[in-house]
Chain A
Amino acid sequence: MEEEVVRNQYTDAQKQEIFDMEFMPHINAMYNFAYRLTLERDDAKDLLQDTYLKAYRFIDSFQQGTNAKAWLFRILKNSFINDYRKKSKEPSKVDYQEVEAYYNSEDVDRQITPDLRVESLTNMIGDEISNALNSLDVDFKTVIILCDLEGFKYEEMAKILDIPIGTVRSRLHRARNLLKEKLSEYAKSMGYKTA
Chain B
Amino acid sequence: MNMPDMNKMKQDCPNKQECLQLLQSILDGEATAAQKETFMKQHLQECMTCYQNYHLEVAIRGLLKQKCSNEAPEELINSIKEKVIKNLGQ
Contact = CB atoms under 8 A, between A and B. Distances in A.
Interface of A: 12, 15-16, 19, 24, 27-28, 30-32, 35-36, 45, 48-49, 52-53, 56-57, 109-110, 113, 116-118, 121-122, 124, 127, 129-130, 133, 144-145, 147-149, 153-154, 169, 172-173, 176, 179-180, 183
A16 B87 CA distance: 10
B61 A118 contact: no
Contacts of B29: 153
Interface string B33-71: 000000000000000000010011101110111011111
Given A28-B69, A30-B72, A176-B57, 12 more contacts: A27-B77, A32-B70, A32-B71, A53-B83, A118-B52, A121-B60, A122-B59, A127-B67, A129-B64, A133-B64, A149-B68, A173-B24
The secondary structure that dominates the B interface is: helix
Contact of B60 (A35, A36, A154, A180): A180
B17 interface: yes
B25 interface: yes
Contacts of A149: 64-65, 68-69
